[in-house]
Amino acid sequence: MMPDVRRCHRRRCRRRRRGAPPPTRRRLSTPPPPPGGRLPPSAGHCLHLVRTYDHENYLINLLHPPPPPPPAAPRSAVRRAHAALRALNVTLLHVRALATNEDAARARFAFWAAGLDAALGGGAAAPSAAAPVLAEVAASLADLPADVAASWAALLPRLVAARAAQLSYPTAASMADAVASARDTHGVLAAAHAALLGGGVPSGVGDAGAAGAPAGDGGGGAGGGAAPAAAADPFPAAVTVPRLSYIPSGVAAAAGVASRATLLAPPSAAADPADGAAAVAAYRAVGEAAASRLAAARSAVAAAGAGGGALLPRPVAPAAWGGVGAGLYLDWLRDAGWDPWAPALRRRVEGVYPARLSVALLRRRLFGGF
């Protein structure tokens, strides 16, 4: 039943005449503070970065399953460290966009490398107060076993070096080079997440989660598998473009792509329709390779589970959940004819993707797998 607006108005007028304070209003948009008090500023900063720029991993952070019994780390500590890990990756990705030139960007990467070394206990100086992400990495590791910090100290410098190598917007020469680059970025993040959960991800699973992940910078995912290798870049000094193409140049040349710029625009915009069709063929080669690697990793996990093996222990499964969104994207890309700029694909990604991803991750949380 709808409230009587006139009665509510008269009640407010009587309150004003009596001098009574107005009733408190519920703010539905303000979440209640956590049981242990409000989050530290560094933790809130990291969560904001992940929620804003890495929605998939923000959902994974929320859906972390309950941890095994002690001595495993509590779920709150795992979620806090995972948010710090993913916020570090977001920050490293933003270095290239925020720096005024490549030298300034390299100086920033040197700062992050030194600060990360200090945060992980390998340096003499404490993390700078001006870098809340580094402060949160150090604070979150304090609540976790020492072997997690040791694993991160071995893994995360590879992440910093790989992001620094992307400053000049390189294009992989072959599919193997693309897989190696993905292994040093997405693969390192998956392995660090697995170490945080108290286990390890086999190389096949890590490669599938890395190589199968779709990338929006250049319009294609970095896949793996056999592909024609190129001894040198087939497009030397072609066009300087401020974007990174994830299509290996050897694959593009084999498909008949005439210019790297073709890979960074819709195929329908190509001056020559044959060049646009060649770009779609290159996307198809990479997409099919990525889908094949992802399917092989899922089959290996299913076979190990049926045989009682422990290829992917259930507590470590969230480390491979990056393959869930990759699988959705690759299925839709196949339906769109392997054209990443197809309007139907864009409508799905911008429309139903968040809801579909949430449901898919929830199913993995309940039933396992990735």
Q: What is the pLDDT of residue 11?
A: 64
Per-residue pLDDT at 229 exceeds 70 = no
Task: Pick from 2-16, 30-44, 110-124, 204-218 the range whose average pLDDT is largest.
Answer: 110-124
pLDDT band (50, 70, 90) for residue 33: very low
pLDDT of the residue at 143: 82
Q: Indicate whether 360 belongs to any domain.
A: yes
Q: In the prediction, which pLDDT does 83 show?
A: 94
| Residue-level pLDDT at 23 | 54
232 plus 363 within the same structural domain: yes
Give the residue from 168, 201, 228 where a domain finishes: 168
Burial 34-47 (b: 16+ CB within 10 A, else e): eeeeebeebbebbb
Answer whether residue 5 shows pLDDT above 70: no
If asked whether residues 311 and 243 sit together in one domain, one would say: yes
Asked whether residue 34 is assigned to any structural domain, the reply reads no
If we measure between CA atoms, which residue out of 202, 91, 99, 81 comes closest to residue 143?
81
Give the pLDDT band (50/70/90) at residue 30. very low
142 located within any domain:
yes
356 in the same domain as 332:
yes
Domain contains 356: yes
Longest Cα–Cα distance of the chain, Å, equals 86
Q: Write out the H or E segment, with its range, that includes residue 92.
A: helix 75-98
Give the integer Cα–Cα distance in Å for 106 and 103. 5
What DSSP character marks residue 199? S
CA-to-CA distance for 243 and 265, rounded, in angstroms? Answer: 11
The pLDDT of 169-186, averaged and rounded, is 83
pLDDT band at 320 (very low <50, low <70, confident <90, very high): confident
Confidence of residue 310 (pLDDT cuts 50, 70, 90): low
The residue segments making up the domain with residue 120 are: 72-168
Shared domain check, 183 and 160 = no
Task: Flag whether 209 is in a domain.
Answer: yes
**262 falls in which pLDDT band (50, 70, 90)?**
confident
Q: Is the pLDDT of residue 366 over 80?
A: yes
Residues 191-223: tens digit of each pLDDT: 899 888 887 554 544 443 443 343 333 333 333
pLDDT of residue 313: 65
In the chain, pLDDT over 90 holds for what percent of residues? 29
CA-nearest of 159, 175, 284 to 223 is 175
Question: Do residue 154 and residue 203 come from a single domain?
Answer: no
206 is a domain residue? yes
Question: How confident is the prediction for the chain on average, in pLDDT?
Answer: 76
Give me the pLDDT at residue 60, please: 93
The answer to whether residue 141 is domain-embedded is yes
Residue 329 confidence (pLDDT): 93
Q: Looking at beta carbons, which pairs linking 31-39 to residues 24 or more positions away fall under 8 Å?
A: 34/76, 36/76
- Boundary-marking domain end, from 151, 168, 185: 168
Exposure b/e, 306-319, CB count within 10 A at least 16 = b: eeeeebbbebbbbb
Q: How many separate domains does the chain show?
A: 2
Convert the pLDDT of each residue in 99-145 to its tens digit: 888 889 999 999 999 989 888 875 445 556 568 999 999 988 888 88
Residues 284 and 153 in one domain: no
Query: Do 80 and 227 reside in the same domain of the chain?
Result: no
For residue 344, being part of any structural domain is answered with: yes
> What's the whole-number mean pLDDT along residues 332-351?
92
Last residue of a domain, one of 114, 134, 168: 168
